[in-house]
Amino acid sequence: MPHPQPQGFLAIPAMGKGQGLLVLHPWWGLNETMKALCGRLATEGFITFAPDLYRGKIAATIKDAEILSSELNETQAKSDIADAVTFLSERADLSGPGLGVIGFSLGAYFALGLSLEDPDRVRAVVVFYGTRSADYSRSKAAYLGHFAQTDDYEPASNVSSLEDALRTAGRPVTFHTYVGTGHWFFEQDRSDAYNEAAAKLSWERTVAFLREELPF
């Protein structure tokens, strides 16, 4: 029996087939911005699933997001993500065996971890303004990173350390820093941080990277 769909949001390309892609939401939760992103990725040919790590809860303010993220059980979140990977991998409409994952801040932490926990399936990782300190020698993925020039949540030293760790592990890695941006620059609903030019460029780079690493 196929694995049942976990709690989350699924977007399927009009053509009915595509490469599998996981989207891991930021600390706001699985909001409309993330669902819209899944839809955009589906139009690019990816079967996209975003697990709901908060189980229906969404934060609109930084204070609420801090509470939700602090209450998140990491073991449970990793289990939910593993279920999402299994669900995606078992779909008959996948074009190929490898999966991609995109993570935003909180989600980036889990995306990077997933590339170590499931190296045989995770082939492409995209992170937006999020890092994770680890030994990446078990990974088999390529990495693309989008980072803000000025980020109170993710200092440049963390970004450099991650890039060094990935290069030490022999992984293909390309990191971009976007001038004049801060945390959440990609997320259109964060009017205080959204940067249209950086969002457009990082989107184009992301699609090109995924198509190269997960050929149809």
Taking the CA atoms of 98, 175, 105 and 38 in sequence, report the sign of the dihedral they define: negative
* In contact, 212 and 174? CB cutoff 8 Å: no
Q: Kindly compute the dihedral angle of the four CA atoms of residues 35, 36, 40, 41, in this order, to the nearest 10 degrees.
A: -20
Q: pLDDT tens, 103-139? A: 999 999 999 999 999 999 999 999 999 999 999 999 9
End-to-end Cα spacing for the chain: 26
pTM for this structure? 0.96
Segment 15-25, tens digit of pLDDT? 888 999 999 99
- Structural domain boundaries of the chain? 8-213
96 pLDDT band (50/70/90 cuts)?
A: confident
CATH of domain 8-213: 3.40.50.1820
The neighbour count for residue 132, using CB atoms within 10 Å, is 19
Query: How far apart, in whole angstroms, are the C-alpha atoms of residue 131 and residue 147?
Result: 10
